[in-house]
């Protein structure tokens, strides 16, 4: 199947590479020419714009930072919707507000183009190995058509409901991830302050009820003092802002999300917004005046 891919960032590039490995004819576009050149060197065709990519594809995937960028690359001048043929499918895999997804979906429907919102979870490591969790909102028929493509990028693809539902699921995911990181940070700082080896505490609890994918992904990073981003704090702030907005709109109080949002905002003020979200531990370390790390 001819697939288009718009947005070749930290997540988009490995996702697109997995589609190439799966044998799809791929047309790509990004505002950064170097990322496009890298994909072309790997066998993709160069698109001149989002419109050009969609015009040459049966399914067009977009993977950009937030709602304004999604609206620009799909609905804007030279956007994907201008090039998409009736009956083709646009799949936005960005993490955005459900309301923006619904707006874009309505515009696509008016043009006879199928639309799915399909944000992902798993960060760069799972994007690279093709094991992302994909949460999808939209028509069942369109989902079934593109599901084989999605499963070349993810270990799972679940249709949650109508358009916008995929991003509601992603916001729920981001709340759980953020609060898991905060809990892990509190726990490892407690262990360190009490004079106990934090790495051994991690090993002791990971097999019990406290164990989680988040713990196994982020505790080793903290212990190694490795805050190279798999998922940047500034992007998690964006997702939590969308979560708070959506929650307020439907009347669902989420007080713990408000607290972790303020912790991440404090880290942004310190200049840590480009670091991995495991950098939340710095907030707790500063309060306790300790550093969580492997013992030599």
Tokens found for residue 245: 């907005």
Range of the domain at 191: 168-288
Are both 126 and 175 inside the same structural domain? no
Q: How far apart, in whole angstroms, are the C-alpha atoms of residue 211 and residue 205?
A: 6
Q: How many domains in the chain? A: 2
pLDDT at 15 over 90: yes
In eight-state DSSP terms, residue 276 is B
Are both 155 and 183 inside the same structural domain? no
Asked whether residue 295 is domain-assigned, the answer is: no
Are both 271 and 134 inside the same structural domain? no
pTM for the model stands at 0.92
pLDDT of residue 182: 98
pLDDT of residue 123: 87
| Confidence at 230, pLDDT banded by 50, 70, 90 | confident
Q: Among the three residues 163, 190, 218, which one is the final residue of a domain in this structure?
A: 163
Asked whether residue 269 is domain-assigned, the answer is: yes
Active-site position among 103, 126, 170, 238: 170
**pLDDT by residue (tens digit) across 66-90?**
999 999 999 999 999 999 999 999 9
pLDDT at 51 over 90: yes
As a whole-number percent, the residues of the chain with pLDDT over 70 amount to 100
Task: List the beta bridge partners of residue 90.
Answer: 60, 115
| pLDDT average, residue stretch 38-62 | 98
| pLDDT average, residue stretch 155-178 | 98
Q: Among the three residues 163, 188, 211, which one is the final residue of a domain in this structure?
A: 163
Do 63 and 5 form a contact (C-beta atoms < 8 A)?
A: yes
Per the prediction, the chain carries an average pLDDT of 97
First CA to last CA distance, the chain: 53
Q: Among the three residues 163, 197, 223, which one is the final residue of a domain in this structure?
A: 163
- Would residue 268 show up in a list of annotated catalytic residues for this protein? no
Q: How far apart, in whole angstroms, are the C-alpha atoms of residue 199 and residue 138?
A: 43
Are both 226 and 146 inside the same structural domain? no
Nearest C-alpha neighbor of 104 from the set 86, 85, 117, 118: 117
Q: How far apart, in whole angstroms, are the C-alpha atoms of residue 226 and residue 222?
A: 6
| pLDDT average, residue stretch 25-33 | 97
Asked whether residue 195 is domain-assigned, the answer is: yes
Are both 158 and 172 inside the same structural domain? no
Are both 142 and 249 inside the same structural domain? no
């Amino acid at each position: 199947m001819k697939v288009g891919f718009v947005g070749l960032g930290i997540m988009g590039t490995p996702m697109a590479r997995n589609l190439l490995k799966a044998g799809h004819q791929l047309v790509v576009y990004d505002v950064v020419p170097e990322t496009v050149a890298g994909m072309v060197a790997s066998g993709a065709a160069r698109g001149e714009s989002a419109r050009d990519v969609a015009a040459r594809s049966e399914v067009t995937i977009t993977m950009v930072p937030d709602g304004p960028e999604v609206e620009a690359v799909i609905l804007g001048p030279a956007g994907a919707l201008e090039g998409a043929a009736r009956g083709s499918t646009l799949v936005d895999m960005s993490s955005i507000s459900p309301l923006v997804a619904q707006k874009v979906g309505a515009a696509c429907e008016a043009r006879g183009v199928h639309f799915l919102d399909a944000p992902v979870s798993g960060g760069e490591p799972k994007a690279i190995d093709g094991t992302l969790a994909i949460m999808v909102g939209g028509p069942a028929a369109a989902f079934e058509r593109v599901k084989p493509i999605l499963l070349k990028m993810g270990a799972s693809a679940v249709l949650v409901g109508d358009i916008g539902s995929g991003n509601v699921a992603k916001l729920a995911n981001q709340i759980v991830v953020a609060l898991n990181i905060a809990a892990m940070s509190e726990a490892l700082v407690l262990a360190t302050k009490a004079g106990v080896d934090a790495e051994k505490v991690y090993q002791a609890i990971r097999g019990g009820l406290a164990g989680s994918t988040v713990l196994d992904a982020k505790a080793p990073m903290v212990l190694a003092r490795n805050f190279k981003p798999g998922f940047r704090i500034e992007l998690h702030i964006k997702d939590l802002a969308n979560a708070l907005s959506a929650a307020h709109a439907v009347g669902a109080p989420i007080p713990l999300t408000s607290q972790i949002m303020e912790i991440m905002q404090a880290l942004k003020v310190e200049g840590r917004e480009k670091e991995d979200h495991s950098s939340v531990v710095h907030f707790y370390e500063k309060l306790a005046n300790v550093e969580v790390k492997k013992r030599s």
